[in-house]
Amino acid sequence: MLGLKLLTDPRWANIAASNLDEILTDHAWCEQKAASNAITLITQNPEHEDLVHELTAIAIEEMQHFQMVIDIIKARGYTLGRERKDDYVGQLMRFSKKDGSRNQAFIDRLLFAAMIEARSCERFRVLSKNIDDQELAKFYHDLMVSEANHYTTFLHFARKYTTDVDVDKRWQEWLDFEGELIQSYGKKEYIHG
């Protein structure tokens, strides 16, 4: 799915389903961070008009997702907790190139975003297929579709705006790295846990 090297063990959905308040809080902050990441890309690359336009739409959509999640948290009598540390995203951030050319850093930031969208999409799919709660199953199905579109958008801009990066080769490096990394996850009640 989306080139991912390793799919999530569906038993992770049981861990998530039995800790709904935790997974929803973590999920809410994932959406906020996705919006922030889109805004950062806009701030650093204002010369690309189409990118500014598309990523503005993504930032708004991610905050709409945030709002949907906090509405569910409220409706179910939970409270939004503080942001959880996301070790998975931290490790992806360390993998991304920051010391090369400006274009290399830019392309890797897009691929970093595409990678998180791909795995989040896959995790939402696992939730939508394995969670008994019908309202949440539908919610996660809808979000899965939305995040798959974001994944496509980030990869599209990486391919469009590369000047000195072989995007297909670099993307394979990302997929290989993530495939190794994710082997030590799948055990916690976080979206990337």
- Judged by the rule CB under 5 A, the positions of this chain that interact with Fe ion are 31, 34, 62, 65, 117, 147, 150
CB of 101 to Fe ion, least distance (A): 27
- HEC sequence for 78-103: CCCCCCCCCHHHHHHHHHCCCCCCHH
Amino acid at 157: F
In angstroms, the CA 107 to CA 41 distance is 10
| Cβ at position 173, least distance to Fe ion in Å | 22
Which letter, b or e, does each residue of 30-64 get, where b requires 16 or more Cβ atoms within 10 Å of its Cβ? bbbbbbebbbebbeebeebeebeebbeebbebbbe
Q: Smallest distance from the beta carbon of 112 to Fe ion, in angstroms? A: 13
CA Rg value for the chain? 16
Nearer to Fe ion, 65 or 188 (CB): 65
Residue 104 vs 121, nearer CB to Fe ion: 121
Between 104 and 113, whose beta carbon lies closer to Fe ion?
Answer: 113
Least distance (Å) between residue 39 CB and Fe ion: 13
φ, ψ for residue 84, nearest 5 deg: -90, 145
Integer Cα distance of 48 and 97 in angstroms:
21
Instruction: Tell me if residue 152 falls in helix, strand or coil.
Output: helix
CB of 153 to Fe ion, least distance (A): 9
Nearer to Fe ion, 15 or 68 (CB): 68
If the CB atoms of residues 58 and 131 are measured against Fe ion, the closer one turns out to be 58
